[in-house]
Amino acid sequence: MAQQGPQKSAIIIPDEPPVLPLESLSYPAHYAPYISNVVIPYGLVLDRIERMAEEISQDLQASCDPEEGLHAICVLKGGFKFFTDLTDRMQSKNCCHKSLKISSHFIRAKSYQNDQSTGSVSIMKLYDLEVLANKTVLVVEDIVDTGHTLSKLIEHLHQYKPKTIKVASLLLKRTPLHNGLFPDYVGFSVPNMFIVGYALDYNENFRDLKHICQISDEGKKKFANKPT
């Protein structure tokens, strides 16, 4: 994991993103009142992932044992789309000259309620991860916000004694609350706003929206988890 700032190649989405009207793009009508702006259109998400796949494959091919290949960890639930699109492209013939074997693993991390971090991160191991011993591991995350979830996750994975842990995050939020741990690979640097879509959720809603969007105040109210 890198200690310095995000990768130079990350696309920076400005604090005031260009206004891309929802009605000019295709989106599920049931979300219309609950989104205020499209922050990253789906097409751009996919283009950026294609480039990230080339970069990551080139870097990691050298450190992977050809028999063992790369062990990629999908951080559920928000990472499932990025994980699938990234690993698909890393295995495509156009991506790199040599083929790279990729084994898939899944882990669940949860810390958000509404648009706030609860401050406690729960990590759920879904399958045995003992196989990671001495392997090159790539953690695939949807978003790094404060960095607390990622720190907990890395701490958790160290117990399996992998040879190397690299982290790819589609999004890195520019928040003053960030703890200083940066992913090795970043797709987009995004403003400090709550975003949804492309598997990112607000209380389990919006994962089925393809574009990455800013949730509206109405959306926050409509889908809020009320205290019990």
Binding site for Mg ion (CB under 5 A): 78, 112, 201
Binding of residue 194 to ligand HPA (CB under 6 A) = yes
Binding of residue 40 to ligand HPA (CB under 6 A) = no
Contacts of 107 (CB under 8 A, 6+ apart): 73, 74, 75, 76, 123, 124, 125, 126, 129, 153, 156
User: Could you say which of 10, 39, 49, 143 contacts ligand HPA (CB under 6 A)?
Assistant: 143
| Annotated catalytic residue 201 | no
Residues numbered 101 to 120 that lie near ligand HPA (CB under 6 A) are 112
Indicate which residue of 145, 184, 201, 217 is catalytic.
145
- Strands (E) across the chain are located at 11-12, 35-40, 70-76, 102-113, 116-125, 136-144, 164-173, 185-190, 195-196, 212-215
Using the contact rule CB under 6 A, the part of the chain among 22-30, 42-50, 88-96, 189-197 near ligand HPA is 189-197
Q: Compute the distance between CA of residue 54 and CA of residue 49 in angstroms, rounded to an integer.
A: 9
User: Could you say which of 82, 89, 90, 145 contacts ligand HPA (CB under 6 A)?
Assistant: 145
Minimum distance of Mg ion from residue 201's CB (angstroms): 5
